[in-house]
Structure 1
Amino acid sequence: MKKILIVSGLSGAGKSTVIKILEDMGFFCIDNLPPALLNDFMAIVMSSSIDRIALVLDVRSAQFGDLTEAVKKLLQSYGESVTVLFLEASKEELIRRFSITRRKHPLEGKVSLSEAIDLERDLLQEIRNMSLIIDTTEMDVQSLREKVSCLLSVQRIFLIRLRSFGFKYGLPVDTDFVLDTRFMPNPYYCPDLAPLDGRDERIKSFFESHEKIAEYIQHAASMIKTAAEEYKKVGRAGITVSIGCTGGRHRSVYVAEKLAEKLSKEFEVHIEHRDVNK
């Protein structure tokens, strides 16, 4: 079943931050979609492979159609698939935030900032009544992330990229951790094994006969897991781990594959063998 999330609420309450959080969770996000286009857009979404969609609908969209009616129709059409989040904060905190950012409230102009906040609250009251409410007055970004995750019961997707490479072809630039496997025995010097790569069963058997290699891989997996869990807490979406040997064909490929087996049980893992065919 597709998950449809409507994000609404007061300007300055954190909707832009929530959209970034939702993107990290794997949602396809659209900000400020005109209500008049909502039906056509949802028809496209429902016939696509997208299974998580988040839409920001707030007072900026109101000039292009009835905002409240648009949310009601979504709830009627898609029922339990739809969740509405409403973000708010105290007037004092919203005024403080607008003062810091020096941005203009979308309803400010003929009325003061204080009056614009009151007017916006009145305009969105009916949507608020349909929503799960998040008061961000005392929240930092991490607290908001945890609150959104809890309300949606969605595990944030954290990506671990594993890349094997050969040191003789250069160290990858875009990497967070580098593991060196050049201490391992090298199948390159075995005529029957040299043409193969680290994914071949004969190469696997060669390495599995060495107890210290399994120990090294277990320690490396534990280190990567700990780092990933801590990075996830501070809002990081993923990390890249590069595993190197001399030529990038045997040892690094084998270790990368074994790490992928261990880590894919808890994380999304993408694996790349940069130099295996060189």
Structure 2
Amino acid sequence: MSLNVEIHSFSYKKGGIPKDYSGNGGGFCFDCRGILNPGRIEEFKTQTGQEIGVQKFLEEKTEMPHFLEGIKSVISITIENYLSRNFEHLQINFGCTGGQHRSVYCAEKIAEFVKNKYPETIVKLFHDEQPQLKVL
């Protein structure tokens, strides 16, 4: 039995917090709107959190690295607990205004973190507002 970790990026304004269809009633929901929005900068408006320029901006010009370190600490406690108890599902959601920059970036980085730290998990990544994005 494996722990399935489902990670979503979403928009608070468009679709709202993703539903958890596992029957567990949800999981984590992190609000990325407290981080400076790269979408307000002209060169980044049409880009997403997958693009290098946006990533560098978030990593070098905002508190994003601190934000993600806190999230990694919190979710690690739960993932380790769920693994030890043979739980099957955990959902982790990242929301921002448009579901394009900050939430996409966070979902990507946390999916990578979980895959690397907990290779026994199955990670599924969804960009709810950006379905055209290639996912890991």
* TM-score higher than 0.5: yes
Q: Which residue of 1 aligns with 2:10?
A: 165
Q: Which residue of 1 aligns with 2:127?
A: 273
Partner Cα separation in structure 2 for residue 210 and residue 226 of structure 1: 29
Query: Do the aligned residues in 1 keep the contact of 2:3 with 2:86 (CA within 8 Å)?
Result: no
Q: Which residue of 1 aligns with 2:97?
A: 246
Query: Do the aligned residues in 1 keep the contact of 2:9 with 2:127 (CA within 8 Å)?
Result: yes
1:233 Cα deviation from its structure 2 partner:
2.5
Amino acid at match of 1:239: L
CA, structure 1 residues 263+277, in 2 after alignment: closer, same or farther (shift >3 Å)?
A: closer
Amino acid at match of 2:115: S
Partner Cα separation in structure 2 for residue 258 and residue 235 of structure 1: 25
Are 1:204 and 2:55 an aligned pair? yes
Partner Cα separation in structure 1 for residue 47 and residue 80 of structure 2: 35
Output the TM-score relative to the length of structure 1. Answer: 0.42
SS in 2 for 1:275: coil
Q: Which residue of 1 aligns with 2:107?
A: 256
Partner Cα separation in structure 1 for residue 73 and residue 122 of structure 2: 16
Q: Which residue of 1 aligns with 2:23?
A: none
Identify which of structures 1 and 2 has the higher relative contact order when contacts are C-alpha pairs closer than 8 Å and 6+ apart.
2
CA, structure 1 residues 211+188, in 2 after alignment: closer, same or farther (shift >3 Å)?
A: closer
Amino acid at match of 1:195: T
Amino acid at match of 2:3: F
SS in 1 for 2:63: helix
Q: Which residue of 1 aligns with 2:33?
A: 182
Partner Cα separation in structure 2 for residue 235 and residue 251 of structure 1: 32
Partner Cα separation in structure 2 for residue 206 and residue 212 of structure 1: 10
Query: Do the aligned residues in 2 keep the contact of 1:249 with 1:277 (CA within 8 Å)?
Result: no
Deviations 1:51-71 (A, max 9, x none): xxxxxxxxxxxxxxxxxxxxx
User: Which of the two has higher C-alpha Rg?
Assistant: 1
For structure 1, the 5+ residue unaligned runs are 1-23, 25-156
Query: Do the aligned residues in 2 keep the contact of 1:228 with 1:238 (CA within 8 Å)?
Result: no
Partner Cα separation in structure 2 for residue 165 and residue 231 of structure 1: 24
SS in 1 for 2:110: helix
Partner Cα separation in structure 2 for residue 230 and residue 277 of structure 1: 31
Query: Do the aligned residues in 2 keep the contact of 1:167 with 1:246 (CA within 8 Å)?
Result: yes
SS in 1 for 2:68: helix
1:221 Cα deviation from its structure 2 partner:
1.4
Partner Cα separation in structure 1 for residue 90 and residue 35 of structure 2: 25
Partner Cα separation in structure 2 for residue 179 and residue 210 of structure 1: 20
1:211 Cα deviation from its structure 2 partner:
5.8
1:240 Cα deviation from its structure 2 partner:
0.6
Runs of 4+, deviation exceeding 6 Å: none
Which has more helix, going by share of residues? 1
